[in-house]
Amino acid sequence: MLILKLALRNIQRNRRRSLLTVLSMGGGYFLLSLMLSMTEGSYSNMIDLFTRDHTGHVQIHKSNYLDRPSLFKRINNSAALIALIQEDPQVVSVTARIYGPSLAYGKNKTFPANVIGIDPQRESATTYLKKKVNQGVYLSNGMTVNGYFPAMMGKALAKNLHLNVGDELVLISQGVDGSIANDIFEVVAIVGTSESYERMNVYLSLNGMRQFLSMGGQVHELVISLHHHSLAQKFSENLQSTLQQDDLKVSSWQQVEKVFYKSMQLDKKGNYVSMGIIIFIVSIGVLNTVLMGTLERTREFGVLRAIGTQPVGIFKLIMLESLFLSLVSCFSGLLVSLPVNYWLTVEGIAMPQPVDMGGVLFESMRGEISWFTIGVPALVVIGSTLLVSLIPGIRAARISPLQALQAV
């Protein structure tokens, strides 16, 4: 208790030096908190855009479908699986998909197309597909007034085939029974842009796709949307252990989109280098301040040693002063950084030129307020302060009373 009182009294007596230390460490906290907030917020925003664009947070496939897609690797009892998954409170929505690469014909041109069968209602709750309709109306389960199954086309494919809303689209593919699948569909909507994921896709309802491929109630893929992308890995592991079918593979978005995830992790490591430089600069400033304060108080430490204070007491005194100053610095930095981070989280910074990340346009940088962005800077500032205070603390503890009292 006596050492604590001495530490507080020394801080109060050396207000100018203490203020400089607080400003230095508080500035370091502010910069670290700001960088972490922008880094974590930007990546969270990017992941949300990417996963809600088409990937989802978790996917289920038959065996190794993800690595080697095949028309014949199908999931049985998809309706029962969807009902089971939907019961989990972490799940927002689940949708089923069927894939069938086809040859698309329109007017006088043919072009390869990736045909995807979807449940219109579930797909709109899982991804942003419905919001990407820029011409026509969103897909429905029924048939058009002309007696055709409706189809939505990517903008690039529609442009290549010179097709518009209301035109007829002919698709040719292979049925699951080995027959040649061919049918006429009516274009009801154009989706996406010439650069988006949907650019060369054709979307049919599950009913239309099953009739087209002569397929029963099976599907190729189940896509799950969760309340937050951070839940994906744990959820996929738990679901994999829950499923009774050994031939089903549950994959998180990190596994489905490995290239995107790895590029994001590499970019994060680059940001951590910048943070390390800031920590180093702040630590040098703190070391200089604490060391100078120790040198200025050499005679004081000599008096304390002369009246019987143990070296460990001197060491504790230095460390307690540094700890208290670092706590005050963190609190001050928190008060300044919270309003700034809140504004960045709500408003964000619009980028002058959108950046393409894995096919998703990243148009703004947003912050994030979390225990990670608040707590990590505090731990770094306190930890680095105590670390650099070891040298002045050890020096003060080992000082000779006679030499200290003779110092000018």
DSSP state of 133: E
Query: Tokens representing 153?
Result: 């086309």
Cα gap 50→121, rounded to integer Å: 20
Please give the pLDDT value at position 295: 67
Say whether pLDDT at 170 is over 90. yes
| Mean pLDDT calculated for residue range 45-59 | 86
What are 222's strand-pairing partners? 60, 96
* 337-375 pLDDT, tens digit each: 888 888 888 877 777 776 655 445 667 777 788 888 888
Q: For the chain, give the percent of residues with pLDDT over 70.
A: 85
Report the C-alpha dihedral over residues 29, 34, 35, 41, rounded to 10 degrees: 140
Residue 388 makes CB contacts below 8 A (sequence gap 6+) with 283, 284, 286, 287, 290
Report how far residue 44's alpha carbon sits from residue 264's, in angstroms, rounded to the nearest whole number. Answer: 11
Amino acid (one-letter) located at 111: F
Is it the case that residue 306 has pLDDT exceeding 70?
yes
Q: Which of 384, 401, 386 is nearest to 316 (CA)?
A: 386
pLDDT on residue 359? 46
Average per-residue pLDDT in the chain? 82
Q: Is the pLDDT of residue 122 over 90?
A: yes
Using an 8 Å Cβ cutoff, are 95 and 123 in contact?
Answer: yes
**Residue 403 confidence (pLDDT):** 66
Please tell me the distance from the alpha carbon of residue 273 to that of residue 39, in angstroms, as a whole number. 13
Cα(247)–Cα(252) distance, rounded to whole angstroms?
Answer: 17
Rounded to whole angstroms, how far apart are CA atoms 300 and 80? 78
Sequence-ordered list of residues with C-beta below 8 angstroms from that of 144, at least 6 positions apart, any chain:
150, 186, 188
Mean pLDDT of 283-289: 70
What pLDDT, on the 0 to 100 scale, is given for residue 377?
84
Work out the pLDDT band at 188, boundaries 50, 70, 90: very high
pLDDT at 157: 93
Token pair belonging to 287: 């070391």
Lowest-pLDDT range, 96-110, 236-250, 294-308, 388-402?
294-308
Task: Give whole-number Cα distances, 226 to 67, 71, 118, 127, 201, in Å.
Answer: 23, 27, 19, 11, 25
Q: Which residues, including other chains, have CB under 8 Å from residue 290's CB and lie 6 or more apart?
A: 21, 318, 322, 388, 389, 392
List the structure tokens of 96.
Answer: 């089923």
Token couple for 388: 């650099």
pLDDT at 358: 43
Given a cut of 70, whether residue 120 has pLDDT beyond it is: yes
Whether 285 has a pLDDT exceeding 80, the answer reads no
Query: What's the average model confidence in pLDDT over 30-58?
Result: 84
Span 4-11, average pLDDT: 57
The mean pLDDT value for 173-194 works out to: 89
pLDDT beyond 60 at 386? yes
Please give the single-letter amino acid code of residue 309. Answer: T
Give the rounded percent of residues in the chain with a pLDDT score beyond 90: 27
Cβ atoms of residues 117 and 206 within 8 Å: yes
CB atoms within 10 A of CB 280: 11
Note the pLDDT of residue 402.
65
Give the span between the Cα atoms of 248 and 61, in whole angstroms. 6
Rounded to the nearest angstrom, the gap between the alpha carbon of residue 69 and the centroid of all alpha carbons in its chain is 27
Highest mean pLDDT among 6-20, 189-203, 274-288: 189-203
User: 66 pLDDT band (50/70/90 cuts)?
Assistant: confident
Q: What is the mean pLDDT of residues 62-82?
A: 88
- Length, in residues, of the chain: 408
Which segment, 66-70, 295-299, 383-387, is predicted with the most confidence on average?
66-70
Read off the pLDDT of residues 243-282 as tens digits, 9 standing for 90 and up: 866 688 999 999 888 888 888 778 777 777 777 777 777 6
Range in 87-96, 186-195, 202-211, 255-264 the model is least confident about:
255-264
Maximum pairwise Cα distance, the chain = 105
Find the range with the poorest average confidence among 29-33, 60-64, 201-205.
Answer: 29-33
CA 259 from centre of chain: 14
Q: How confident is the model at residue 186 (pLDDT cuts 50, 70, 90)?
A: very high
Q: Residue 163's pLDDT band (boundaries 50, 70, 90)?
A: very high
